[in-house]
């Protein structure tokens, strides 16, 4: 059983459907007790950084997430959910994030031939060969984003090349982030979610 953190983020339906397909039960909730009792947390997200952080804070979920992480609960942030894990974002002003992974979120640089947002499939370059997600090397997953994270190499599991090198999978201990949409990345995306459940949450 996974807990999907409910903060009115768009696109939770498809994340839930992907877990349904895997036979993994999920519950969408904002209840602090349930989140703290959970064995695995998913922080989804589509949209802008500031309103997402504000909703988390308004519901007291920022401190609940930090408490759960501090006691070792695995957490996976997806897309905007991953960006929220970092210390700050410069999307429409300067905003503090959950600071669970060192690094900041900034706009993808403009570069000829690269349309922004990055919207499409991109190929992973593996940076940590001992990761449970190491099979993502050379695989393509589906991205939709205009901002990206910059973080020290030690947190970088894989990256893709766009108008800048974009961290695709990041990890700091029990906190993981996917910049792409695993629920929209075909069979490899489904496999990555399965790995998170089997090798991280249930391990």
Partner 1 sequence: MDDGRVKKGVNFVNLVDVGDPAVIAAEYERQGADELVFLDITATNQKRETMKAVVERVSRQVFMPLTVGGGITSVAQMQELLKAGADKISLNTAAVVNPKLITQGAEKFGRQCIVVAIDVKMDPTTKQYQVFTAGGKHNTGLDALKWAEQAVALGAGELLVTSMDKDGTKSGFDTDLYRKLNERIDVPIIASGGAGSLADFTTVFTAGKVDAALAASVFHYGELSIPAVKQTLHTAGVNVR
Distant-in-sequence, close-in-space partners of 187: CB < 8 Å, separation ≥ 6: none
Instruction: Restricting to residues 135-194, name those near partner 1 by CB under 8 A.
Output: 140, 142, 144, 183-187, 189-190
Q: Which two tokens stand for residue 203?
A: 């391990």
Enumerate the active-site residues. 79, 181, 183
**Residue among 1, 6, 14, 194 that touches partner 1 (CB under 8 A):** 14
Part of the chain binding partner 1 (CB under 8 A), chosen from 67-75, 95-103, 118-126, 149-157: 118-126
Number of residues that bind partner 1 (CB under 8 A): 26
Determine the interface stretch with partner 1 among 18-26, 36-44, 54-62, 87-95 (rule: CB under 8 A): 18-26
Q: How many CB atoms lie within 10 A of CB 127?
A: 20
If the CB atoms of residues 62 and 91 are measured against partner 1, the closer one turns out to be 91
Please give the Cα distance from 7 to 55 (Å, whole number).
6
> Residue 57: how many CA atoms within 13 Å on its side-chain side?
11
**Among residues 117, 152, 199, 202, the one that binds partner 1 under rule CB under 8 A:** 117
Task: Report the helix count and the strand count for the chain, using DSSP H and E.
Answer: 6, 14
25 binds partner 1, rule: CB under 8 A: no
Q: Which of 72, 13, 79, 17 is nearest to 43 (CA)?
A: 79
Q: How many CA atoms lie within 13 A of 167 on its CB side?
A: 31
Q: At what angle do helices 186-195 and 12-21 cross, to 10 degrees?
A: 80
Cα–Cα distance, 104 to 190 (Å, whole number): 28
For partner 1, which stretch binds (CB under 8 A), given 57-65, 96-104, 119-127, 129-137?
Answer: 119-127
**Residue 35 or 126 having the CB closest to partner 1:** 126
The residues binding partner 1 (CB under 8 A) are 10-11, 13-14, 17-18, 20-21, 46-47, 115, 117, 119-121, 123, 140, 142, 144, 183-187, 189-190
């Amino acid at each position: 059983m996974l807990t999907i953190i409910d903060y009115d983020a768009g696109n939770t339906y498809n994340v839930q459907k992907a877990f349904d397909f895997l036979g993994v039960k999920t519950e969408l909730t904002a209840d602090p007790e349930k989140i703290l009792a959970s064995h695995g947390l998913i922080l989804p997200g589509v949209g802008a950084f500031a309103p997402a952080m504000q909703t988390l804070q308004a519901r007291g979920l920022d401190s609940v997430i930090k408490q759960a992480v501090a006691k070792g609960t695995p957490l996976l942030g997806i897309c905007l959910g991953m960006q929220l894990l970092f210390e700050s974002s410069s999307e429409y002003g300067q905003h503090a994030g959950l600071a669970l992974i060192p690094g900041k979120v900034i706009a993808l640089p403009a570069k000829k031939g690269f349309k922004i947002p990055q919207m499409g499939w991109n190929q992973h370059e593996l940076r940590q060969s001992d990761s449970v997600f190491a099979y993502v090397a050379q695989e393509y997953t589906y991205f939709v984003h205009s901002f990206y994270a910059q973080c020290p190499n030690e947190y970088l599991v894989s990256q893709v090349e766009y108008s800048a090198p974009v961290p695709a999978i990041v990890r700091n201990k029990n906190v993981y982030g996917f910049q792409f949409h695993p629920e929209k990345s075909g069979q490899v995306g489904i496999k990555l979610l399965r790995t998170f459940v089997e090798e991280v949450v249930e391990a």
